Structure 1
Amino acid sequence: MASDVISSDRVEGTNVYNVSGDKLGSIDDLMIDKLSGQVRYAVMEFGGFLGMGTDRYPIPWNMLKYDTSQDGYVVPLDKAQLEGAPRYTNEAVPDYDETYRSSVDKYYGL
């Protein structure tokens, strides 16, 4: 029987697709709630070329569904929705304080 847990370094680098099967990016990082231990956000790399000039998009973890046929995560988003989504560069990681988390959750309608 397969395990229902996975190491974070196996999640990082996993592709993310929209429901149409278009690749949107890949998981760069996971943001974990210190108190509950639950993953709050998957940070997806999107844009740029070969990792250069890519932005990071925090997506609420509960929006991602793993699809074994694609060996990746599927989100109900398209590229146009990501264009206006909260994002940051690798050099300017936000604090993920309550205000920032609220803005991310509000953008995605949570």
Structure 2
Amino acid sequence: MTDIATEETNRLIASNKVEGTNVYNREGEKLGSIYNFMVDKRSGKAEYAVLQFGGLFGLGSDYYPLPWDMLTYETEHGGYVVNLDKALLEKAPRYGADAEPAFDRTYGQSVYGHYGMNYPF
């Protein structure tokens, strides 16, 4: 009997290892970390990575949905890299811990539109 990889393979990574992974911009500046990610129930495609950003030690931080396709995993950073700066991120759609959005089509269009992308769902 062989062991089944539950954490990471050459191509795949378990969801529990994605959560908490750091996110950097192209300049190497840490923007935050992945709080969770949202997956379409029917297609199985990851739609958003929810970035936890701001606050101190996770307290008072907000959650910023990023279109999943914006993220690139880079081993030299040991995390995800996105092509955006803090100024754009600070103006992005976000929510607090007690006010999760509906994640419906209208919300998706506003998130994707903020980053200059078409909402594909």
Alpha-carbon shift at residue 83 of structure 1 (Å): 1.0
The residue that corresponds to 1:51 in the other structure is 58
Distance in 2, matches of 1:104 and 1:65, equals: 18
Give 2:114's match in structure 1, choosing from 83, 103, 107: 107
User: Does residue 68 in structure 1 map to residue 75 in structure 2?
Assistant: yes
Overall identity of the aligned pairs, in % = 56
Deviations 1:56-108 (A, max 9, x none): 00000000000100100000011101110000011111110000001001001
- Tell me the TM-score normalised to structure 1 length: 0.97
Distance in 2, matches of 1:105 and 1:52, equals: 26
User: Does residue 28 in structure 1 map to residue 35 in structure 2?
Assistant: yes
Question: Structure 1 regions of 5+ residues with no counterpart?
Answer: none
Query: CA RMSD for the aligned pairs?
Result: 0.7
Given residue 84 of structure 1, which amino acid in structure 2 is its aligned partner? K
Give 1:91's match in structure 2, choosing from 74, 98, 103: 98
SS of the residue corresponding to residue 24 of structure 1 reads: strand
Question: Structure 2 regions of 5+ residues with no counterpart?
Answer: 1-8
Deviations 1:19-48 (A, max 9, x none): 000000000010001110010000000000
Q: How many residues align?
A: 109
The residue that corresponds to 1:19 in the other structure is 26
Higher relative CO (Cα under 8 Å, sequence separation at least 6) belongs to 1
Given residue 20 of structure 2, which amino acid in structure 1 is its aligned partner? G
Distance in 2, matches of 1:26 and 1:69, equals: 16
- Tell me the TM-score normalised to structure 2 length: 0.88
